[in-house]
Amino acid sequence: MSISILVSYIFLGLSLAAPIGPVNSARLDKGIKNGFWHAWIVGAGSMLADAVFMLFVYLGMVNFLDIPVVQIFLWLFGGFILIYSGLESILGVNRVNLTYSRKKDSLTKCFLTGFMMSITSPLSILFWLGIYGSVLAKTAQVNGTGQLLIYSCMIFVGLTLWDVFVAGLTTGFRKLLNDLSLKIISIISGISLLGFGVYFGYQGLKALFNF
């Protein structure tokens, strides 16, 4: 097993985590408002969902997602979670300032936010099961099944590195911001989450009426 192969799987983990989406929007929002650990714990919740997706692939449960009722539920419930989070971010903007109490958002709440956003996101599900499933199949074909766990761990190393990077980034940004810019970022983050939520909801309703 070469170092270059292990590094390539770490980069795969980074590439899976890096695209701007609901989780990264929430990560930035919580981190800038509350600090490093709140941003990091959102990512930790998301990574737990990633682990669940990985387990599904291992157990061969991908076909379960082909059931139309399951797809409709995921779209609609995912949309609800994102719209709720977006509205919460926008409506609570007047409470945001540089002395924002960290008790406003508990670490448990931030963890559940990251987990629920990922576990209910059809895009995350398709992304993970599609990319990770194909990577898993190729790895098994080329190297056998013995190394699958090690490669999967390397993917998680990449996810963790990205989580720490974003959490550190938000902490650094926080020192350069004032009350107004914090509120603007909170609104932009909320609008982003609302946009994803409306899209998910639309897809769910379209699938429901075509069911």
Domain residue spans in the chain?
Answer: 3-209
Single out the residue of 197, 151, 154, 152 nearest to residue 22, CA to CA: 197
Q: Determine the residue type at 174.
A: R
Q: How far apart are CA 90 and CA 203, in angstroms?
A: 23
Lowest mean pLDDT among 7-11, 37-41, 63-67: 63-67
pLDDT digit string (tens) for 87-103?
Answer: 877 887 776 555 544 44
Q: Contact 111/41 with Cβ under 8 angstroms?
A: yes
Q: How far apart are CA 105 and CA 159, in angstroms?
A: 23
Q: How far apart are CA 147 and CA 159, in angstroms?
A: 19
Over 80: is that where the pLDDT of 36 sits?
yes
Mean pLDDT across the stretch 40-47?
90
